[in-house]
Amino acid sequence: MPHNRSKEEFHDFVRKLEQQALETAEERHPIYIKAGLKDARLVLDVGCGSGVVTKDVAMHTNGYVIALDDSPDMLEVAKQVLHGMDVEIVVGDAHMLPFADNTFDIAICNLFLMWVKDPQKVVNEMARVIKHGGKVVATLEPDFGAKIHWPPYPKVDEIFAGKAIRNRGGDPYIGRKLRMLFVRAGLETEVGIGNKRIWSCEEDKASYIRARDFYWKVLRREGLSEEEIKDWEEKHLKSIEEGIEFNFFPQFYAIGIKP
């Protein structure tokens, strides 16, 4: 998400993060357990955004959490979301983390590497600030190239299969690059599929209704007319009602140990 956004876009983005956090909670929690988050003493959440996922991170550890983002506006929201929790909020750029080498037990991020200018530099920085034996964890990073959807609506499918992300400055194919990024940062790396769910039509419908404004805005921004969007929506909802809508959208995780 670019930083030069309007107030309305900012508000929509915060709502979208909240929805995503809810929808991905059951995929992230097993990764927290696998990474040993509970026993970490000092955890860094990089690109914490509005803090909705940091809240989950803090609830899964007995340790102290530092949450970092480079957007002061986002951190204002995070202050409210994380009020009363054992979390310190820091403004900073993930390409130059303002921490000494070998400081944290775990440096974690969620839906973040896809949005940074230089993901290799960021993972290198996360590796630098963890202790030897500590872990860098990317919980969910998508790969839109592996998105499968039926029935087809080509003009809209291509937008949600990566075009919209690329046009907003993100990397829609970050998922397949996770292993490379972690290995090149010198980490002993394990990658896996964090989200392999095929949603039921009921889940698809609920998600669409919650995020309808977001979908319409993206499609308008990508140049579709009101008529085209209406036509797509009608067909989309019809296939959900019929119970035939199929949506597969993998998100990957990586856990890297610093030797």
Ligand X SMILES: C[S@@+](CC[C@H](N)C(=O)[O-])C[C@H]1O[C@@H](n2cnc3c(N)ncnc32)[C@H](O)[C@@H]1O
Binding interface with ligand X (CB under 6 A): 1, 17, 21, 47-49, 52-53, 69-71, 74, 93-95, 110-112, 115-116
Smallest distance from the beta carbon of 82 to ligand X, in angstroms?
12
Closer residue to ligand X in complex, CB, 2/192: 2
Encoding tokens for residue 85? Answer: 């929790």
Smallest distance from the beta carbon of 17 to ligand X, in angstroms?
4
Closer residue to ligand X in complex, CB, 10/248: 10
Closer residue to ligand X in complex, CB, 46/191: 46
Closer residue to ligand X in complex, CB, 111/164: 111
Smallest distance from the beta carbon of 69 to ligand X, in angstroms?
4
Q: What is the amino acid identity at position 114?
A: M
Smallest distance from the beta carbon of 128 to ligand X, in angstroms?
15
Q: Measured between alpha carbons, how far is 147 from 163 in angstroms, rounded to an integer?
A: 12
Smallest distance from the beta carbon of 92 to ligand X, in angstroms?
7
Q: Measured between alpha carbons, how far is 181 from 127 in angstroms, rounded to an integer?
A: 11
Closest CA to 116 of 99, 100, 138, 101: 138
Smallest distance from the beta carbon of 244 to ligand X, in angstroms?
31
Smallest distance from the beta carbon of 163 to ligand X, in angstroms?
17
The closest residue (CB) to ligand X is 49
Closer residue to ligand X in complex, CB, 29/155: 29
Closer residue to ligand X in complex, CB, 138/191: 138
Q: Measured between alpha carbons, how far is 42 from 149 in angstroms, rounded to an integer?
A: 41
Q: Measured between alpha carbons, how far is 92 from 105 in angstroms, rounded to an integer?
A: 19
Closer residue to ligand X in complex, CB, 99/112: 112
Closest CA to 192 of 251, 130, 124: 251
Smallest distance from the beta carbon of 223 to ligand X, in angstroms?
24
Closer residue to ligand X in complex, CB, 98/133: 98
